[in-house]
Amino acid sequence: MSGFLGTILDGLAALALAAGLPFAAGGPPPLAHGYVEGEYLRIAAPSAGMLESLSVARGTQVAAGAPLFAIDRATATAERDRLAAALAQARAQRADLATGKRPQEVAVLAAQKARAEAALRFSTAELVRQRELVARKVSSPDKLDQALAAYDRDRGQVAEAEAQLAVAALPARPDQLRAADEAVTQADAALAQAERRLADLAPVAPAAALVEDTLYNPGEWVPAGSPVVSLLPPERVKLVLFVPETAMAGVASGGALSVRCDGCPPGLSARVTRVASQAEYTPPVIYSVGSREKLVFRVEAVPDRPLNPGLPVDVWPVDAQATGAVQ
């Protein structure tokens, strides 16, 4: 008989809570009514294209960093490869400007210097010989002048060859090097942008989450910015409560609440994270005989374990749970 009576009392208590009325046999009425709300992450691609692959399914869990889907990336991949080649070319040109001439070119200049030095040795010997001949009055001063001119010419050619060898070892002018550096920077930035676009076409999960829904199938055309996957991380589930004015004295940010809902395990609790600064009329979603047309404050709280969004909940102060008033 007691079991039958307990069943009747539980049924009456449930009806009273649904109507927003206190029920003496079950303890004090709830502090507030509300529901579970999820803040979904709707993952989309920035560019339109055909859905190439879908890596997740509705109702499954996905780890942080796991692939979600991929939009057709053929064009984006080709552009990335083109920009990677352009960056390699810019870097090679910068390195070439910094190293001077090639070894083969330096070898040509060295050979020209050796030929000039050989001509200088000959003209030097001829100048010495003409000076001796003129001193003995065997040769004319004109030949001495010619020998002196040849000596000066060959010495100048040696100096020119030495200068060319020195220049060949130098890098390009500073302004050319700066221009080459800027070209490398621009090519690097363009490649980074292309790689970012390629990654955006195949996004990964930003956090561990439940796959709440998938909105397209492989082979379908996805408009730019249209969500393909909807995720619900457990930390983005919250309780939305509507506390009457008369009960606001017992609610504060950071405070604890006891939670009860249909089919939920006992011992649920939540921590208050936000309290509205202005009152509002009771939303239609929680209208009851006792709460209609009353001013309430919106309160948000984080449950200590995941709950399904849309689930109606009732909350009590923690002290009510501690005294056993909430069953």
pLDDT digits (tens, 9 = 90+) for 245-276: 888 877 888 889 999 988 888 889 999 999 98
**pLDDT on residue 185:** 95
Lowest mean pLDDT among 139-148, 158-167, 168-177: 168-177
Residue 283 reports pLDDT greater than 80: no
Segment 69-77 long-range contacts (CB within 8 Å, at least 24 positions apart) = 69/43, 69/45, 69/202, 69/203, 69/216, 69/228, 69/229, 70/201, 70/202, 71/45, 71/47, 71/201, 71/202, 71/222, 72/201, 73/198, 73/201, 73/202, 76/47, 76/194, 76/197, 76/198, 76/201, 77/198
pLDDT digits (tens, 9 = 90+) for 71-104: 999 999 999 999 999 999 999 988 888 776 777 7
